[in-house]
Structure 1
Amino acid sequence: MSEHIIEALGLSRITVKDGKVVSVSEPEVEYCPLFDHHRGIKKLTKEVIEKNIQFRIDDFGMCTPNRQLRMKDFLNFGISEIMCTLLDEEVIDCVVMVLEGCGTLIVNEPELVQGIGGRVSGLVKTSPIPELIEKIGKENIVDPETATINQIEGIKLAISKGFKNIAVTVALASDAEEIKKLKQENPDVNIYVFVVHTSKRTPEEARALFDICDVATACASKNIREIGEAESIKIVGQSIPIYARTEDGKRFLEMRLEKIGGEKPKKDNPDLPYPLI
Protein backbone atom coordinates (compact mmCIF):
# COMPACT_ATOMS: atom_id res chain seq x y z
CA MET A 1 0.00 0.00 0.00
CA SER A 2 1.23 3.46 -0.93
CA GLU A 3 0.85 5.98 1.92
CA HIS A 4 1.89 9.63 1.93
CA ILE A 5 1.48 12.27 4.63
CA ILE A 6 1.52 15.95 3.66
CA GLU A 7 1.24 19.16 5.65
CA ALA A 8 -0.35 21.78 3.42
CA LEU A 9 -3.16 24.30 3.01
CA GLY A 10 -3.06 25.93 6.40
CA LEU A 11 -0.93 23.25 8.06
CA SER A 12 -3.59 20.60 7.73
CA ARG A 13 -2.15 17.08 7.89
CA ILE A 14 -3.41 15.03 4.96
CA THR A 15 -2.97 11.30 4.42
CA VAL A 16 -3.19 9.88 0.90
CA LYS A 17 -3.39 6.13 0.33
CA ASP A 18 -3.38 4.54 -3.10
CA GLY A 19 -4.44 7.74 -4.85
CA LYS A 20 -7.23 8.70 -2.45
CA VAL A 21 -7.42 11.20 0.41
CA VAL A 22 -8.21 9.15 3.53
CA SER A 23 -7.80 11.74 6.30
CA VAL A 24 -7.61 15.51 6.68
CA SER A 25 -7.00 17.32 9.96
CA GLU A 26 -8.42 20.73 10.83
CA PRO A 27 -6.20 23.46 9.33
CA GLU A 28 -4.40 25.76 11.77
CA VAL A 29 -4.42 28.66 9.31
CA GLU A 30 -7.81 29.86 8.07
CA TYR A 31 -6.68 32.05 5.20
CA CYS A 32 -3.77 31.86 2.74
CA PRO A 33 -3.40 34.65 0.17
CA LEU A 34 -1.78 32.29 -2.34
CA PHE A 35 -4.78 29.98 -2.43
CA ASP A 36 -7.13 32.94 -2.53
CA HIS A 37 -5.25 34.46 -5.48
CA HIS A 38 -4.73 31.25 -7.47
CA ARG A 39 -7.78 29.16 -6.51
CA GLY A 40 -10.28 31.65 -5.11
CA ILE A 41 -10.27 29.94 -1.70
CA LYS A 42 -11.40 32.45 0.93
CA LYS A 43 -11.40 30.09 3.91
CA LEU A 44 -9.47 26.86 4.42
CA THR A 45 -11.70 24.07 5.73
CA LYS A 46 -11.30 20.29 5.83
CA GLU A 47 -13.74 19.95 2.94
CA VAL A 48 -11.94 22.52 0.79
CA ILE A 49 -8.57 20.92 1.55
CA GLU A 50 -9.76 17.41 0.70
CA LYS A 51 -11.17 18.66 -2.59
CA ASN A 52 -7.95 20.52 -3.46
CA ILE A 53 -5.69 17.55 -2.69
CA GLN A 54 -7.91 15.15 -4.63
CA PHE A 55 -7.78 17.62 -7.53
CA ARG A 56 -3.98 17.47 -7.46
CA ILE A 57 -4.07 13.67 -7.43
CA ASP A 58 -6.44 13.59 -10.39
CA ASP A 59 -4.80 16.48 -12.28
CA PHE A 60 -1.09 15.66 -12.19
CA GLY A 61 -0.93 12.34 -10.37
CA MET A 62 0.33 13.55 -6.99
CA CYS A 63 1.26 10.57 -4.79
CA THR A 64 0.64 8.09 -7.63
CA PRO A 65 2.73 6.25 -10.26
CA ASN A 66 1.30 8.68 -12.85
CA ARG A 67 2.91 11.72 -11.18
CA GLN A 68 3.90 14.35 -13.75
CA LEU A 69 7.46 15.24 -12.83
CA ARG A 70 8.32 18.10 -15.16
CA MET A 71 6.83 21.56 -15.35
CA LYS A 72 7.91 24.64 -17.25
CA ASP A 73 8.83 27.90 -15.52
CA PHE A 74 5.70 30.05 -15.15
CA LEU A 75 7.67 33.11 -14.05
CA ASN A 76 6.41 33.05 -10.47
CA PHE A 77 8.56 33.94 -7.49
CA GLY A 78 9.00 31.03 -5.11
CA ILE A 79 11.71 28.75 -3.78
CA SER A 80 11.41 26.22 -6.62
CA GLU A 81 11.47 28.98 -9.19
CA ILE A 82 14.59 30.57 -7.67
CA MET A 83 16.40 27.23 -7.74
CA CYS A 84 15.35 26.69 -11.36
CA THR A 85 16.97 29.99 -12.29
CA LEU A 86 20.14 29.04 -10.43
CA LEU A 87 20.35 25.77 -12.35
CA ASP A 88 19.68 27.58 -15.63
CA GLU A 89 22.46 30.05 -14.89
CA GLU A 90 24.80 27.26 -13.69
CA VAL A 91 25.21 28.87 -10.27
CA ILE A 92 24.27 25.53 -8.71
CA ASP A 93 24.70 22.09 -10.21
CA CYS A 94 22.07 20.16 -8.25
CA VAL A 95 19.19 20.45 -5.78
CA VAL A 96 18.55 18.13 -2.84
CA MET A 97 14.77 18.03 -2.43
CA VAL A 98 11.87 15.72 -1.63
CA LEU A 99 9.35 13.90 -3.85
CA GLU A 100 6.39 11.69 -2.97
CA GLY A 101 7.23 8.06 -3.65
CA CYS A 102 10.99 8.74 -3.60
CA GLY A 103 11.80 10.68 -0.44
CA THR A 104 15.00 12.72 -0.55
CA LEU A 105 16.58 12.86 -3.98
CA ILE A 106 19.03 14.80 -6.15
CA VAL A 107 17.78 16.74 -9.18
CA ASN A 108 19.78 18.73 -11.72
CA GLU A 109 17.16 19.62 -14.35
CA PRO A 110 15.22 22.89 -13.90
CA GLU A 111 11.93 21.45 -15.17
CA LEU A 112 12.21 18.61 -12.66
CA VAL A 113 12.85 21.03 -9.81
CA GLN A 114 9.78 23.03 -10.80
CA GLY A 115 7.62 19.98 -11.39
CA ILE A 116 8.56 18.41 -8.07
CA GLY A 117 8.83 21.39 -5.73
CA GLY A 118 6.32 23.70 -7.39
CA ARG A 119 3.46 21.24 -7.02
CA VAL A 120 3.77 19.80 -3.49
CA SER A 121 5.08 21.26 -0.24
CA GLY A 122 5.33 19.95 3.30
CA LEU A 123 5.86 16.25 2.59
CA VAL A 124 6.17 14.65 6.05
CA LYS A 125 6.36 10.97 5.18
CA THR A 126 6.17 8.91 2.02
CA SER A 127 6.53 5.34 0.80
CA PRO A 128 8.19 3.97 -2.34
CA ILE A 129 6.47 4.24 -5.71
CA PRO A 130 8.60 2.00 -7.98
CA GLU A 131 7.53 3.73 -11.21
CA LEU A 132 8.72 7.13 -9.94
CA ILE A 133 11.93 5.69 -8.51
CA GLU A 134 12.69 4.19 -11.93
CA LYS A 135 12.09 7.54 -13.66
CA ILE A 136 14.31 9.45 -11.23
CA GLY A 137 16.95 6.71 -11.01
CA LYS A 138 17.82 4.76 -7.85
CA GLU A 139 21.28 6.29 -7.91
CA ASN A 140 19.75 9.73 -7.34
CA ILE A 141 17.64 8.73 -4.33
CA VAL A 142 18.91 8.50 -0.75
CA ASP A 143 17.03 5.28 0.02
CA PRO A 144 14.88 3.85 -2.78
CA GLU A 145 13.87 0.91 -0.57
CA THR A 146 12.13 3.07 2.04
CA ALA A 147 11.77 6.52 0.38
CA THR A 148 13.09 8.09 3.57
CA ILE A 149 13.17 11.87 3.94
CA ASN A 150 16.64 12.84 5.12
CA GLN A 151 18.16 16.04 3.74
CA ILE A 152 21.49 15.52 5.49
CA GLU A 153 21.97 12.18 3.74
CA GLY A 154 20.87 13.90 0.53
CA ILE A 155 23.67 16.45 0.85
CA LYS A 156 26.14 13.64 1.54
CA LEU A 157 24.95 11.77 -1.55
CA ALA A 158 25.35 14.90 -3.69
CA ILE A 159 28.87 15.43 -2.35
CA SER A 160 29.75 11.78 -3.02
CA LYS A 161 28.64 12.26 -6.63
CA GLY A 162 31.07 15.14 -7.04
CA PHE A 163 28.66 18.08 -7.04
CA LYS A 164 30.32 21.27 -5.84
CA ASN A 165 27.45 23.77 -5.75
CA ILE A 166 24.52 22.18 -3.96
CA ALA A 167 21.17 23.72 -3.08
CA VAL A 168 19.12 21.96 -0.43
CA THR A 169 15.59 22.52 0.85
CA VAL A 170 15.39 22.27 4.64
CA ALA A 171 12.35 22.33 6.93
CA LEU A 172 13.70 20.82 10.15
CA ALA A 173 15.66 22.89 12.66
CA SER A 174 17.30 19.66 13.81
CA ASP A 175 19.23 19.60 10.51
CA ALA A 176 20.97 22.91 11.22
CA GLU A 177 23.93 21.61 13.22
CA GLU A 178 24.60 18.77 10.80
CA ILE A 179 24.62 21.20 7.88
CA LYS A 180 27.13 23.41 9.71
CA LYS A 181 29.30 20.35 10.21
CA LEU A 182 29.07 19.31 6.57
CA LYS A 183 30.08 22.80 5.49
CA GLN A 184 33.14 22.67 7.75
CA GLU A 185 34.10 19.18 6.59
CA ASN A 186 33.75 20.07 2.89
CA PRO A 187 35.31 23.52 2.39
CA ASP A 188 35.57 22.96 -1.37
CA VAL A 189 31.78 22.48 -1.65
CA ASN A 190 29.18 25.26 -1.58
CA ILE A 191 26.03 24.18 0.26
CA TYR A 192 23.22 26.71 -0.19
CA VAL A 193 20.30 26.31 2.20
CA PHE A 194 16.71 27.16 1.27
CA VAL A 195 14.40 27.01 4.29
CA VAL A 196 10.84 25.97 3.44
CA HIS A 197 7.59 25.00 5.17
CA THR A 198 8.22 27.30 8.13
CA SER A 199 4.74 27.64 9.66
CA LYS A 200 4.44 26.86 13.38
CA ARG A 201 8.15 26.91 14.08
CA THR A 202 9.00 27.79 17.68
CA PRO A 203 11.21 30.83 18.32
CA GLU A 204 14.15 28.48 18.88
CA GLU A 205 13.47 26.51 15.70
CA ALA A 206 13.00 29.68 13.68
CA ARG A 207 16.30 31.01 15.02
CA ALA A 208 18.20 27.83 14.13
CA LEU A 209 16.69 27.68 10.65
CA PHE A 210 17.28 31.33 9.85
CA ASP A 211 20.87 31.19 11.07
CA ILE A 212 21.72 28.35 8.69
CA CYS A 213 19.84 29.57 5.61
CA ASP A 214 20.73 31.61 2.58
CA VAL A 215 17.06 32.03 1.67
CA ALA A 216 13.90 31.41 3.72
CA THR A 217 10.22 31.63 2.92
CA ALA A 218 7.86 33.10 5.49
CA CYS A 219 4.80 30.85 4.96
CA ALA A 220 2.46 31.62 7.88
CA SER A 221 5.28 31.68 10.41
CA LYS A 222 5.07 34.44 12.99
CA ASN A 223 8.59 33.76 14.25
CA ILE A 224 10.35 33.48 10.88
CA ARG A 225 8.67 36.72 9.82
CA GLU A 226 9.87 38.56 12.93
CA ILE A 227 13.46 37.45 12.44
CA GLY A 228 13.37 37.87 8.67
CA GLU A 229 11.96 41.39 8.75
CA ALA A 230 14.61 42.46 11.28
CA GLU A 231 17.68 40.71 9.88
CA SER A 232 17.30 40.01 6.14
CA ILE A 233 19.54 41.85 3.73
CA LYS A 234 16.86 41.58 1.02
CA ILE A 235 13.14 40.82 1.12
CA VAL A 236 10.95 40.02 -1.88
CA GLY A 237 7.17 39.83 -1.62
CA GLN A 238 4.70 41.03 1.00
CA SER A 239 1.97 38.46 1.57
CA ILE A 240 4.41 35.54 1.69
CA PRO A 241 7.83 37.22 1.87
CA ILE A 242 11.04 35.48 0.89
CA TYR A 243 14.06 36.51 2.91
CA ALA A 244 17.74 36.56 1.96
CA ARG A 245 20.03 36.20 4.96
CA THR A 246 23.36 36.05 3.10
CA GLU A 247 24.96 37.87 0.18
CA ASP A 248 24.55 34.67 -1.84
CA GLY A 249 20.86 34.63 -0.94
CA LYS A 250 20.49 38.24 -2.00
CA ARG A 251 22.18 37.46 -5.31
CA PHE A 252 19.83 34.53 -5.84
CA LEU A 253 16.73 36.67 -5.28
CA GLU A 254 18.03 39.37 -7.59
CA MET A 255 18.78 36.83 -10.33
CA ARG A 256 15.22 35.57 -10.16
CA LEU A 257 13.80 39.09 -10.17
CA GLU A 258 15.82 39.92 -13.27
CA LYS A 259 14.43 36.84 -15.02
CA ILE A 260 10.79 37.71 -14.31
CA GLY A 261 11.11 41.41 -15.06
CA GLY A 262 11.42 42.89 -11.60
CA GLU A 263 9.29 43.10 -8.48
CA LYS A 264 5.61 43.98 -8.47
CA PRO A 265 4.58 47.32 -6.94
CA LYS A 266 4.14 47.12 -3.19
CA LYS A 267 0.64 47.27 -1.68
CA ASP A 268 -0.24 49.51 1.23
CA ASN A 269 -2.19 46.72 2.94
CA PRO A 270 -1.08 43.33 1.61
CA ASP A 271 -3.18 40.26 2.39
CA LEU A 272 -1.47 38.06 4.99
CA PRO A 273 -2.08 34.50 6.14
CA TYR A 274 -4.42 34.37 9.12
CA PRO A 275 -3.61 33.58 11.80
CA LEU A 276 0.18 33.68 11.78
CA ILE A 277 1.43 30.73 13.81
Structure 2
Amino acid sequence: MSRHIVDGLGKSKVTIENGKVTNVTEPKISYCPLFDHHRNIKEITPEAVKENMEFRIKDFGMCTKNRQLRMKDYLNFGISEIICTLFKEDIIDCAVMVCEGCGTVLIQEAELAQGVGGRVSGLVETSPIPEVIEGIGTDNVLNIETAEINQIDGIKKAIRNGYKNIAVTIALAKDIEEINRLKETYPNVNIYVFAVHTTGISKEDARELFDGSDVITACASKHIREIGDEESLKTVGQSIPIYSKTKNGKKFLELRLKHIGGEKPKKENPDLPNPLI
Protein backbone atom coordinates (compact mmCIF):
# COMPACT_ATOMS: atom_id res chain seq x y z
CA MET A 1 0.00 0.00 0.00
CA SER A 2 1.13 3.52 -0.81
CA ARG A 3 0.76 5.47 2.45
CA HIS A 4 1.89 8.98 3.27
CA ILE A 5 1.33 11.33 6.22
CA VAL A 6 1.65 15.04 5.54
CA ASP A 7 1.80 17.89 8.03
CA GLY A 8 -0.78 19.85 6.09
CA LEU A 9 -2.09 23.37 6.12
CA GLY A 10 -3.27 24.51 9.52
CA LYS A 11 -0.90 22.03 11.20
CA SER A 12 -3.30 19.17 10.52
CA LYS A 13 -2.07 15.63 9.93
CA VAL A 14 -3.29 14.28 6.60
CA THR A 15 -3.12 10.60 5.66
CA ILE A 16 -3.08 9.76 1.96
CA GLU A 17 -3.40 6.11 0.95
CA ASN A 18 -3.24 4.90 -2.65
CA GLY A 19 -3.85 8.43 -3.91
CA LYS A 20 -6.85 9.10 -1.66
CA VAL A 21 -7.17 11.30 1.42
CA THR A 22 -8.26 8.89 4.15
CA ASN A 23 -7.89 10.98 7.31
CA VAL A 24 -7.54 14.62 8.33
CA THR A 25 -6.99 15.68 11.93
CA GLU A 26 -8.38 18.93 13.34
CA PRO A 27 -6.23 21.91 12.24
CA LYS A 28 -4.45 23.90 14.96
CA ILE A 29 -4.33 27.03 12.78
CA SER A 30 -7.56 28.57 11.50
CA TYR A 31 -6.06 31.09 9.08
CA CYS A 32 -2.93 31.26 6.91
CA PRO A 33 -2.29 34.29 4.67
CA LEU A 34 -0.43 32.19 2.09
CA PHE A 35 -3.36 29.85 1.53
CA ASP A 36 -5.74 32.78 1.53
CA HIS A 37 -3.69 34.55 -1.13
CA HIS A 38 -2.95 31.55 -3.35
CA ARG A 39 -6.02 29.35 -2.80
CA ASN A 40 -8.63 31.77 -1.39
CA ILE A 41 -8.97 29.68 1.78
CA LYS A 42 -10.44 32.05 4.37
CA GLU A 43 -10.82 29.51 7.15
CA ILE A 44 -8.82 26.34 7.59
CA THR A 45 -11.21 23.53 8.44
CA PRO A 46 -10.79 19.76 8.01
CA GLU A 47 -12.97 20.02 4.90
CA ALA A 48 -10.77 22.80 3.48
CA VAL A 49 -7.64 20.77 4.23
CA LYS A 50 -9.07 17.67 2.51
CA GLU A 51 -10.11 19.69 -0.52
CA ASN A 52 -6.68 21.32 -0.78
CA MET A 53 -4.90 17.97 -0.58
CA GLU A 54 -7.21 16.51 -3.22
CA PHE A 55 -6.42 19.51 -5.42
CA ARG A 56 -2.68 18.82 -5.07
CA ILE A 57 -3.14 15.14 -5.89
CA LYS A 58 -5.07 16.06 -9.04
CA ASP A 59 -2.93 19.08 -10.01
CA PHE A 60 0.59 17.65 -9.82
CA GLY A 61 0.19 14.06 -8.64
CA MET A 62 1.21 14.53 -5.01
CA CYS A 63 1.76 11.18 -3.29
CA THR A 64 1.12 9.26 -6.53
CA LYS A 65 3.13 7.75 -9.39
CA ASN A 66 2.07 10.71 -11.55
CA ARG A 67 4.08 13.19 -9.43
CA GLN A 68 5.40 16.13 -11.47
CA LEU A 69 8.86 16.75 -10.09
CA ARG A 70 10.11 19.91 -11.80
CA MET A 71 8.67 23.35 -11.28
CA LYS A 72 9.44 27.01 -11.90
CA ASP A 73 9.40 29.52 -9.03
CA TYR A 74 6.13 29.41 -7.09
CA LEU A 75 6.47 31.97 -4.31
CA ASN A 76 8.63 35.06 -4.41
CA PHE A 77 10.18 33.97 -1.18
CA GLY A 78 10.25 30.52 0.34
CA ILE A 79 12.93 28.06 1.39
CA SER A 80 12.82 26.08 -1.85
CA GLU A 81 12.98 29.32 -3.84
CA ILE A 82 16.10 30.39 -1.95
CA ILE A 83 17.71 26.98 -2.56
CA CYS A 84 16.72 27.26 -6.22
CA THR A 85 18.56 30.60 -6.43
CA LEU A 86 21.66 29.11 -4.77
CA PHE A 87 21.81 26.47 -7.49
CA LYS A 88 21.53 29.15 -10.17
CA GLU A 89 24.32 31.15 -8.52
CA ASP A 90 26.53 28.00 -8.26
CA ILE A 91 26.80 28.41 -4.49
CA ILE A 92 25.60 24.87 -3.78
CA ASP A 93 26.09 21.65 -5.71
CA CYS A 94 23.61 19.52 -3.75
CA ALA A 95 20.48 19.93 -1.62
CA VAL A 96 19.36 17.30 0.86
CA MET A 97 15.58 17.53 0.81
CA VAL A 98 12.50 15.35 1.36
CA CYS A 99 10.09 14.09 -1.30
CA GLU A 100 7.02 11.95 -0.87
CA GLY A 101 7.49 8.50 -2.38
CA CYS A 102 11.25 8.77 -1.82
CA GLY A 103 11.97 10.11 1.65
CA THR A 104 15.33 11.86 1.93
CA VAL A 105 16.76 12.76 -1.48
CA LEU A 106 19.79 14.46 -3.00
CA ILE A 107 18.94 17.19 -5.51
CA GLN A 108 21.37 18.79 -7.95
CA GLU A 109 19.29 21.22 -10.00
CA ALA A 110 17.12 24.27 -9.41
CA GLU A 111 13.80 23.23 -10.98
CA LEU A 112 13.92 19.86 -9.23
CA ALA A 113 14.57 21.54 -5.88
CA GLN A 114 11.60 23.80 -6.51
CA GLY A 115 9.35 20.97 -7.61
CA VAL A 116 10.24 18.75 -4.67
CA GLY A 117 10.25 21.39 -1.95
CA GLY A 118 7.80 24.00 -3.15
CA ARG A 119 4.71 21.89 -3.54
CA VAL A 120 4.32 19.72 -0.45
CA SER A 121 3.89 20.62 3.21
CA GLY A 122 5.93 18.88 5.89
CA LEU A 123 6.24 15.19 5.17
CA VAL A 124 5.96 13.12 8.33
CA GLU A 125 5.98 9.64 6.83
CA THR A 126 6.11 8.19 3.34
CA SER A 127 6.44 4.91 1.47
CA PRO A 128 8.26 4.09 -1.78
CA ILE A 129 6.70 5.02 -5.11
CA PRO A 130 8.92 3.42 -7.79
CA GLU A 131 7.99 5.91 -10.51
CA VAL A 132 8.91 8.89 -8.32
CA ILE A 133 12.15 7.23 -7.20
CA GLU A 134 13.04 6.69 -10.85
CA GLY A 135 12.29 10.35 -11.58
CA ILE A 136 14.61 11.50 -8.81
CA GLY A 137 17.18 8.83 -9.66
CA THR A 138 17.82 5.76 -7.51
CA ASP A 139 21.35 6.96 -6.68
CA ASN A 140 19.85 10.15 -5.26
CA VAL A 141 17.41 8.44 -2.86
CA LEU A 142 18.67 7.59 0.61
CA ASN A 143 16.73 4.33 0.88
CA ILE A 144 14.75 3.08 -2.11
CA GLU A 145 13.35 0.17 -0.09
CA THR A 146 11.82 2.14 2.79
CA ALA A 147 11.73 5.81 1.62
CA GLU A 148 13.30 6.69 4.97
CA ILE A 149 13.35 10.34 6.08
CA ASN A 150 16.74 10.95 7.70
CA GLN A 151 18.41 14.25 6.87
CA ILE A 152 21.62 13.44 8.76
CA ASP A 153 22.19 10.28 6.75
CA GLY A 154 21.29 12.30 3.67
CA ILE A 155 24.12 14.74 4.39
CA LYS A 156 26.50 11.84 4.93
CA LYS A 157 25.48 10.33 1.60
CA ALA A 158 26.01 13.68 -0.14
CA ILE A 159 29.50 13.93 1.38
CA ARG A 160 30.32 10.35 0.32
CA ASN A 161 29.19 11.23 -3.18
CA GLY A 162 31.71 14.04 -3.30
CA TYR A 163 29.55 17.13 -2.87
CA LYS A 164 31.28 20.06 -1.19
CA ASN A 165 28.56 22.71 -0.88
CA ILE A 166 25.42 21.18 0.56
CA ALA A 167 22.10 22.74 1.54
CA VAL A 168 19.90 20.71 3.86
CA THR A 169 16.30 21.27 4.94
CA ILE A 170 15.47 20.17 8.47
CA ALA A 171 12.43 20.34 10.72
CA LEU A 172 13.84 18.66 13.84
CA ALA A 173 15.92 20.51 16.41
CA LYS A 174 17.62 17.25 17.38
CA ASP A 175 19.40 17.23 14.00
CA ILE A 176 21.38 20.36 14.83
CA GLU A 177 23.87 18.69 17.17
CA GLU A 178 24.80 16.02 14.62
CA ILE A 179 25.04 18.57 11.80
CA ASN A 180 27.49 20.59 13.91
CA ARG A 181 29.54 17.42 14.42
CA LEU A 182 29.60 16.80 10.67
CA LYS A 183 30.79 20.36 10.09
CA GLU A 184 33.70 19.71 12.46
CA THR A 185 34.48 16.33 10.93
CA TYR A 186 34.44 17.63 7.34
CA PRO A 187 35.88 21.17 7.48
CA ASN A 188 36.36 21.19 3.69
CA VAL A 189 32.59 20.72 3.17
CA ASN A 190 30.13 23.60 3.50
CA ILE A 191 26.81 22.56 5.03
CA TYR A 192 24.09 25.21 4.93
CA VAL A 193 21.06 24.61 7.16
CA PHE A 194 17.51 25.67 6.26
CA ALA A 195 14.88 25.11 8.95
CA VAL A 196 11.31 24.51 7.75
CA HIS A 197 7.84 23.63 9.09
CA THR A 198 8.35 25.32 12.46
CA THR A 199 4.70 25.79 13.45
CA GLY A 200 4.01 24.52 16.94
CA ILE A 201 7.58 23.78 18.03
CA SER A 202 8.58 24.29 21.65
CA LYS A 203 10.49 27.31 22.93
CA GLU A 204 13.55 25.14 23.52
CA ASP A 205 13.44 23.63 20.02
CA ALA A 206 12.92 27.08 18.50
CA ARG A 207 16.07 28.30 20.25
CA GLU A 208 18.12 25.32 19.07
CA LEU A 209 16.82 25.48 15.50
CA PHE A 210 17.37 29.21 15.21
CA ASP A 211 20.91 29.02 16.58
CA GLY A 212 21.83 26.09 14.33
CA SER A 213 20.37 27.33 11.05
CA ASP A 214 21.54 29.71 8.38
CA VAL A 215 17.96 30.44 7.29
CA ILE A 216 14.72 29.65 9.11
CA THR A 217 11.09 30.24 8.22
CA ALA A 218 8.69 31.45 10.89
CA CYS A 219 5.59 29.64 9.61
CA ALA A 220 3.07 30.15 12.44
CA SER A 221 5.59 29.69 15.24
CA LYS A 222 5.30 32.33 17.94
CA HIS A 223 8.65 31.28 19.44
CA ILE A 224 10.60 31.56 16.17
CA ARG A 225 9.06 34.98 15.56
CA GLU A 226 10.03 36.20 19.04
CA ILE A 227 13.64 35.14 18.54
CA GLY A 228 13.86 36.18 14.89
CA ASP A 229 12.41 39.63 15.39
CA GLU A 230 15.15 40.30 17.94
CA GLU A 231 18.16 38.51 16.46
CA SER A 232 17.83 38.03 12.70
CA LEU A 233 20.65 39.55 10.64
CA LYS A 234 18.25 39.95 7.71
CA THR A 235 14.51 39.34 7.59
CA VAL A 236 12.36 39.03 4.50
CA GLY A 237 8.57 38.93 4.55
CA GLN A 238 6.00 40.08 7.08
CA SER A 239 3.13 37.61 7.09
CA ILE A 240 5.49 34.62 7.05
CA PRO A 241 8.93 36.03 7.88
CA ILE A 242 12.11 34.26 6.85
CA TYR A 243 15.04 34.97 9.14
CA SER A 244 18.81 34.64 8.81
CA LYS A 245 21.04 33.71 11.73
CA THR A 246 24.41 33.71 9.94
CA LYS A 247 26.26 35.92 7.49
CA ASN A 248 25.78 33.21 4.87
CA GLY A 249 22.06 33.15 5.57
CA LYS A 250 21.90 36.93 5.19
CA LYS A 251 23.75 36.68 1.88
CA PHE A 252 21.34 33.99 0.66
CA LEU A 253 18.31 36.15 1.40
CA GLU A 254 19.90 39.12 -0.33
CA LEU A 255 20.72 37.02 -3.39
CA ARG A 256 17.11 35.91 -3.61
CA LEU A 257 15.94 39.52 -3.30
CA LYS A 258 18.27 40.49 -6.14
CA HIS A 259 16.90 37.62 -8.22
CA ILE A 260 13.28 38.83 -7.83
CA GLY A 261 13.99 42.53 -8.15
CA GLY A 262 14.14 43.66 -4.55
CA GLU A 263 11.78 43.88 -1.59
CA LYS A 264 8.16 44.86 -1.84
CA PRO A 265 6.91 47.83 0.19
CA LYS A 266 6.07 46.82 3.76
CA LYS A 267 2.46 46.75 4.86
CA GLU A 268 1.41 48.66 7.93
CA ASN A 269 -0.79 45.80 9.16
CA PRO A 270 0.22 42.54 7.45
CA ASP A 271 -2.05 39.53 7.68
CA LEU A 272 -0.68 36.92 10.09
CA PRO A 273 -1.47 33.26 10.70
CA ASN A 274 -4.04 32.81 13.43
CA PRO A 275 -3.32 31.68 16.05
CA LEU A 276 0.45 31.73 16.35
CA ILE A 277 1.48 28.59 18.24
Preserved CA contact (<8 Å) 1:105 1:142: yes
Preserved CA contact (<8 Å) 1:173 1:205: yes
Partner of 2:103: 103
Report the TM-score when normalising by structure 2.
Answer: 0.99
CA RMSD of aligned residues (A): 0.7
| Identity between Structure 1 and Structure 2 (%) | 66
2:271 is equivalent to residue 263 of structure 1: no
Q: Provide structure 2 residue ranges, at least 5 long, that are not aligned to the other structure.
A: none
Partner of 2:207: 207
2:217 is equivalent to residue 217 of structure 1: yes
Question: d(CA) in 2 for partners of 1:30 and 1:230?
Answer: 26
Amino acid at match of 1:223: H
Question: d(CA) in 1 for partners of 2:124 and 2:78?
Answer: 20
Partner of 2:25: 25
Partner of 2:16: 16
Question: d(CA) in 2 for partners of 1:266 and 1:104?
Answer: 36
Question: d(CA) in 2 for partners of 1:170 and 1:192?
Answer: 11
User: What displacement does 1:267 show?
Assistant: 0.5
Question: d(CA) in 2 for partners of 1:74 and 1:16?
Answer: 24
Question: d(CA) in 1 for partners of 2:259 and 2:74?
Answer: 11
Aligned length: 277
Preserved CA contact (<8 Å) 1:235 1:242: yes
Partner of 2:46: 46
Moved over 4 A (4+): none
Question: d(CA) in 2 for partners of 1:56 and 1:264?
Answer: 28
Task: Describe how 1:143-182 pairs up with structure 2 within 5 A.
Answer: 143-182=143-182
Does 243-252 or 68-77 show the bigger shift? 68-77
**Which whole-Å deviations, capped at 9, do the CAs of 1:189-231 have from their partners, x for residues lacking one?**
0000000000011011001111110000000001111111111
Does 49-58 or 134-143 show the bigger shift? 134-143
Question: d(CA) in 1 for partners of 2:234 and 2:20?
Answer: 41
Question: d(CA) in 2 for partners of 1:22 and 1:231?
Answer: 42
2:141 is equivalent to residue 130 of structure 1: no
Report the TM-score when normalising by structure 1.
Answer: 0.99
Question: d(CA) in 2 for partners of 1:33 and 1:163?
Answer: 37
**Which whole-Å deviations, capped at 9, do the CAs of 1:70-128 have from their partners, x for residues lacking one?**
00124611100000000001001110000000000000110000111110020000000
Distance 1:151 1:260, change over 3 A: same
Preserved CA contact (<8 Å) 1:96 1:155: yes
User: What displacement does 1:153 show?
Assistant: 0.3
Question: d(CA) in 2 for partners of 1:74 and 1:53?
Answer: 17
